[in-house]
Chains A and B, each alone.
Chain A
Amino acid sequence: MRHILRRREIVTDDWCYAGETAVPDAPLIVPLAELRADAARWRQRPGRLGVLLAPEDPVEELADELPRLALVAVQFPNVGDGRGYSQGRLLRERLGFTGELRAVGAGVRQDRVYLLARCGFDTLELAAAEDPDAALRAWSRYSVGYQPGDPQVPLARQRFLAPPA
């Protein structure tokens, strides 16, 4: 059983990655390449569908598929690769994605929770051996931020707000 942090709670993961389940309608996360290879088939699959993005994947190409997707998982393969932060923000702000936005990979550590949350990630699949309780505490480490971001930080406490949509 995999535990994840979802909206500041430690919960059991109800999603599977391709190859992890034989249940036909289990919530399933597939890599973007697989989704692209046979979009029609995936559209017809029963059950909720999610996609797994690699850091170099252009999120704009997901625009057509997004309404069908309940989850987008963004890979952070190591702590130094920051491309996923841009992918997260673009998914939320530009593509209007409102489903579960999940950060996954060896780079998802307690010391990045603040940044991840402020880029729109609501779910963290922590790196192996990372302490979920510590990550949960880290989620509340800052009460302020200089940029628009995590809605958990009160808007009035932010500066340089984006113009109203």
Chain B
Amino acid sequence: MYRYDELDQAFVEQRVAEFRDQTRRHLAGELSEEEFRPLRLRNGLYLQRHAPMLRIAVPYGLLSARQLRKLADITRRYDRGYGHFTTRQNLQLNWPRLADVPDILAELASVQMHAIQTSGNCVRNVTADHLAGVAPDELDDPRPYCEIIRQWATLHPEFTYLPRKFKIAVSGSPEDRAATEVHDVGLQLRRDPSGELGFAVRVGGGLGRAPMIGQLIREFLPLPELLAYLEAILRVYNRHGRRDNLNKARIKVLVKTLGAARFREQVEAEWRIGRSHAPRLTAEDVARFRACFAPPPYAALEDQHVTAGREARFVAWDRYNTRAHRVPGYRAVFVSLKAHGSNPGDITAAQMEVVAALAERLSFGLVRTTHNQNLMLADVPQSELYGLWRELDAHGLAMPNIGTLTDIIACPGLDFCSLANAGTLDVVREIQQRFDDLDYLYDLGDIEIKMSGCMNGCGHHHVGHIGILGVDKHGQEWYQLTLGGSANGFTALGEVIGPSLPKHEVAPAIERIVEAYRSLRADGERFIDTIRRLGVAPFTDSVYAPHPAAA
């Protein structure tokens, strides 16, 4: 992984000192809340329903065991002994005290971490495929480019007060596990016919209000031009994006207003003129960053059958919670944060320490966070899988449901977030209870449920096979269901199936939807494919026909 040199270390320490001074001025009454707000947001600090919330950056989802231990330590000393991993691979603390935040940031800086630009109208944490570097279908590891972008975007003097937040994702595989098509900028690694590396560039994707799929504005951007082109995109946005209406300030609105062709012309013109003053990546730069993500010293192993003679629970876990690895004899392993009865993405300090220790023993000391709110040990020898499973299982981290209906993505919702219209966690619980039979879950196959407590769409409901959106109806929590969304390789936005439902109707409605699927599916047909084949009408019928009571 990338390790800070003395410049990076000096920078984060100076950043902590700056925020300590800002917090002191705020607490002393010298900085009003209005003035303090943009400063604290750019250090990851929200003021939420019950307490501040601190969103700690996990750049492109990569953590060392030492960093994860520090996070555990921080949650114990400054919070309530647990944290929450988000869809953007970050970690949220729900109960820090405002006055403690500078100390927390100093603790983070001591392990080469920070909370810079995890909120606010600036370039946010850059995200990547959780299988980066190990996926068999990968063209190139996206993480060196993510780190380059992270550094370039950090307190970028021109682009730290944008019209609105700005999210960049990078993928190195044809299967778009980083959901690049629903980011403000989505970069997909490519090679041109001469073998040179570069990126396909999409702009203007985004969920939240008025969801859009990103427009391809450049088929191939040569790698040395990466930062120059990002500067051109951001400059066009910074100058021309709307600032009069928060709901129309994302770059997707600018792209839509201008049209992709005109937007592209403006970016290309800006790039051609501006590139002489923009940073250019040299071969040495790229080599230096790539070296940081060089493959670990894998042993020469062979693939083996690990399930022979093992109990059914392990066989199921191996099937659902592990993934193919490009190196023979290894598997990538999900650490499930989706145990039934728990909140998606939540992890206790003790569990963090268990995962850190396992990473050190079995996976070169590295842990990944995934955008579906699980963790991953990416480089586990197959011979160790059974022992690993037993330890994960003993600590509630082996729920064999990855990719199934109960591997739900959900934002924290009304229980924590001051933006939310409706709770998400109760609904998750009800779905978990209703689908607690694993054989039934496995029969249903791949089904992605994604839930957001409000229009902002942090739970990515638009791209869930089943999307659930919390809405406020006269002060009550209601839920709008969408079907047919998808983010992996074939990006599609879900279609609303009908009027919203009260809370207690949501889990039963999902059961009726999947029952309809069971009766309608062709042999071996996945849920999403049945919806694509038949449209949402039969599912709408299944939910509403026998239940006219729904408002």
Which residues in A have some Cβ–Cβ distance to B below 8 Å? 79-83, 85-86, 89, 93-94, 109, 111, 114-119, 141-149, 157, 159-163, 165
Chain A residue, CB-CB nearest to B285: A160
Do A141 and B18 touch across chains, with their CB atoms under 8 A apart? yes
The size bracket of the interface on B is 35 or more
Which of B7-15, B60-68, B368-376, B431-439 has 4 or more CB atoms under 8 Å from chain A?
Answer: B7-15
Residues of B within 8 A of A157 (CB): 7
Query: Beyond A79-B35, A82-B160, A109-B35, is A146–B155 a contact (Cβ under 8 Å)?
Result: yes
Do A94 and B277 touch across chains, with their CB atoms under 8 A apart? yes
Asked if B179 is at the interface of the complex by the 8 Å CB criterion, the answer is no
Chain A residue, CB-CB nearest to B35: A79
Residues of B within 8 A of A79 (CB): 35, 38, 161
Which residues in B have some Cβ–Cβ distance to A below 8 Å? 7, 10-11, 14, 17-18, 22, 35, 38-39, 121, 148, 151-152, 154-163, 227, 235, 238-239, 243, 273-274, 276-281, 285
Chain B residue, CB-CB nearest to A60: B273
Do B280 and A146 touch across chains, with their CB atoms under 8 A apart? no
* Bound CA–CA A145/B15 (angstroms): 11
Residues of B within 8 A of A159 (CB): 7, 151, 285
Do A82 and B161 touch across chains, with their CB atoms under 8 A apart? yes
Residues of A within 8 A of B273 (CB): 94
Chain A residue, CB-CB nearest to B11: A144
Chain A residue, CB-CB nearest to B280: A163
Could you say which of A83, A94, A165 contacts B274, with CB atoms under 8 Å apart? A94
* Bound CA–CA A80/B280 (angstroms): 29
Residues of A within 8 A of B7 (CB): 144, 157, 159
The minimal Cβ–Cβ distance linking A153 to chain B, given in whole angstroms, is: 11
The list of the 10 closest CB pairs from A to B, nearest first, reads A82-B161, A160-B279, A118-B157, A93-B277, A115-B157, A85-B158, A146-B151, A119-B157, A144-B11, A142-B14
* Bound CA–CA A117/B238 (angstroms): 18
**Given A82-B163, A115-B160, 11 additional A-B pairs, CB 8 A:** A79-B161, A80-B121, A80-B161, A85-B158, A85-B238, A89-B277, A94-B277, A115-B157, A144-B10, A160-B285, A162-B278
* Bound CA–CA A86/B156 (angstroms): 11
Residues of B within 8 A of A82 (CB): 121, 158-163, 238
Chain A: interface secondary structure?
loop
Could you say which of B35, B154, B277 contacts A162, with CB atoms under 8 Å apart? B277
Residues of B within 8 A of A149 (CB): 157
Chain A residue, CB-CB nearest to B235: A86
Do A162 and B279 touch across chains, with their CB atoms under 8 A apart? yes
Chain B residue, CB-CB nearest to A84: B161
Could you say which of A94, A143, A165 contacts B14, with CB atoms under 8 Å apart? A143
Do B22 and A111 touch across chains, with their CB atoms under 8 A apart? yes
Residues of B within 8 A of A85 (CB): 157-161, 238
18 CB contacts below 8 A, A to B, read: A80-B121, A82-B162, A85-B159, A114-B155, A115-B157, A115-B160, A119-B157, A119-B158, A141-B14, A141-B17, A142-B14, A146-B156, A157-B7, A160-B151, A160-B152, A160-B227, A160-B281, A162-B277
Chain B residue, CB-CB nearest to A137: B21
* Bound CA–CA A99/B155 (angstroms): 26
Do B243 and A81 touch across chains, with their CB atoms under 8 A apart? yes
Do B280 and A147 touch across chains, with their CB atoms under 8 A apart? no
* Bound CA–CA A141/B21 (angstroms): 11
Residue from B14, B157, B161 whose CB has the most chain A CB atoms within 10 Å: B157
Do B161 and A146 touch across chains, with their CB atoms under 8 A apart? no
Residues of A within 8 A of B35 (CB): 79, 109
Residues of B within 8 A of A161 (CB): 279
Residues of B within 8 A of A115 (CB): 155, 157-158, 160-161
Residues of A within 8 A of B151 (CB): 146, 159-160
Residues of A within 8 A of B243 (CB): 80-81, 83
* Bound CA–CA A59/B387 (angstroms): 65
Do B22 and A83 touch across chains, with their CB atoms under 8 A apart? no
Chain A residue, CB-CB nearest to B15: A142
Do B10 and A143 touch across chains, with their CB atoms under 8 A apart? yes
Residues of B within 8 A of A89 (CB): 157-158, 277
Residues of A within 8 A of B158 (CB): 82, 85-86, 89, 115, 119
Do B22 and A114 touch across chains, with their CB atoms under 8 A apart? no
Residues of B within 8 A of A114 (CB): 155, 157
The minimal Cβ–Cβ distance linking A109 to chain B, given in whole angstroms, is: 7
* Bound CA–CA A85/B158 (angstroms): 5
Chain B residue, CB-CB nearest to A147: B156
The minimal Cβ–Cβ distance linking B400 to chain A, given in whole angstroms, is: 43
The minimal Cβ–Cβ distance linking B205 to chain A, given in whole angstroms, is: 22
Residue from A117, A144, A146, A159 whose CB has the most chain B CB atoms within 10 Å: A146
* Bound CA–CA A79/B22 (angstroms): 15
